[in-house]
Amino acid sequence: MKIKSALFMFLITITTVLAGCEPLLVLDPKGPQAERQARDILLSIGIMSFIVIIVFAILIYVLIKYRASKQSPDYEPPHIEGNPWVEAICVGIPVLIVAYFSFVSVQSNYIVEATPKGYEDKEPLVIYASSSDWKWHFSYPEEDIETVNYLYIPTDRPLEFKLYSHGSITSFWIPQLGGQKYAMSDMVTTLHLAADEKGEMWGRNANFSGKGFAENMFNVTAMSQKEFDEWVDEVKETADPLTEEKFDELLEPGHLGQMTFTGTHLEFSPAPEHGHGSSESDSEETHEGHTEDMKMDEEDSEHSGH
């Protein structure tokens, strides 16, 4: 009776404590990419929980059934070979589980890396999200505005984030919209997201980047396209222009509050969109230079011959 009462009180305590916990952001998706990832997480939890329950059930059964023996203390069991069926089950089932998880993971990777499902025919909003120690800069080239440490986005429209860093490698992550992706100093990576619902969210740098990493976060507000357009108009009327001198100040290590500017730093400090290696124009210049060198060598050879 005492055991049952203790077990009952334990369950009540666990239920009460868990009831006060906030839901995990990754399991509270606000967009199609995050919804796909949340579904994969729940699928993984479900399969692994089933496996754990089965294993513990077998363990309890074995401990109870074979907890004692009537054999004499000096009894030695006969030598037996392994059972092929048991070995096939012990090896085959984990292989099938891993194969299934691999298939789901690869399929999901292709889905979340592409334009969100249902948004293929809509014009994306391009936002350059760049990081510095320890802040985020959001440039809206089409709207010609820039924000620091906060992000306004329209709902029901694809978002195309161009990620890079002005210093150490960081990771751009809005848990309720999708997974994280790295921002590096020598190239631009692209992250496709979309917001289905209005509301307040938060994002952060998910990659350790120094002593200010813990506070390297930003606010995200999803609103209707009409509200977004009104906000853009308001910024153009009230915000100060972003100058090169001011931007150099913003890049200094430290924490800042939310800031808004007209214009973007892309005008005087463009993103490294050439990626790894040289761009096409650089290749052409290199080729032209190589051609000129060859011509000069030929002329020198002719003069030497004379």
pLDDT digits (tens, 9 = 90+) for 144-161: 999 999 999 999 999 999
How high is the mean pLDDT of the chain? 85
How far apart, in whole angstroms, are the C-alpha atoms of residue 32 and residue 117? Answer: 7
Q: What are phi and psi of 124, to 5 degrees?
A: -75, 155
pLDDT at 2 over 80: no
pLDDT digits (tens, 9 = 90+) for 97-139: 999 999 999 999 999 999 998 899 999 999 999 999 999 999 9
- The residue with greater pLDDT, 4 or 304, is 4
Set out the domains of the chain in order of their start, with CATH numbers. Answer: 125-267 (2.60.40.420)
Positive or negative, the CA dihedral 189, 115, 258, 246 is: positive
Compute the average pLDDT of residues 42-60.
Answer: 94
pLDDT digits (tens, 9 = 90+) for 236-259: 999 999 999 999 999 999 999 999
pLDDT computed for residue 16 by the predictor = 61
Looking at this protein, which amino acid is placed at residue 100?
Y
Segment holding 138, helix H or strand E: strand 135-140
Residue 241 bridge partners (DSSP): 262
Looking at this protein, which amino acid is placed at residue 220?
V
pLDDT at 33 over 50: yes
Residue 181 bridge partners (DSSP): 172
Please report the DSSP string for 95-114 in residue order: HHHHHHHHHHHHHHHHHHHS
pTM, whole model, 2 decimals?
A: 0.77
User: Among 222, 216, 223, 204, which Cα is nearest to 253's?
Assistant: 216
The tokens describing 199, both together, are: 């509301």
Compute how many other C-beta atoms are within 10 angstroms of the C-beta atom of residue 134. 23
pLDDT at 196 over 70: yes
pLDDT at 20 over 70: no
Q: What is the dihedral of CA 228, 232, 234, 236, to 10 degrees?
A: 180
Cα Rg, the chain, nearest whole Å: 30
pLDDT at 12 over 60: yes
> HSE on the CB side for 40, CA within 13 Å?
21
23 band by pLDDT with thresholds 50, 70 and 90: low
Compute the average pLDDT of residues 53-74.
Answer: 87
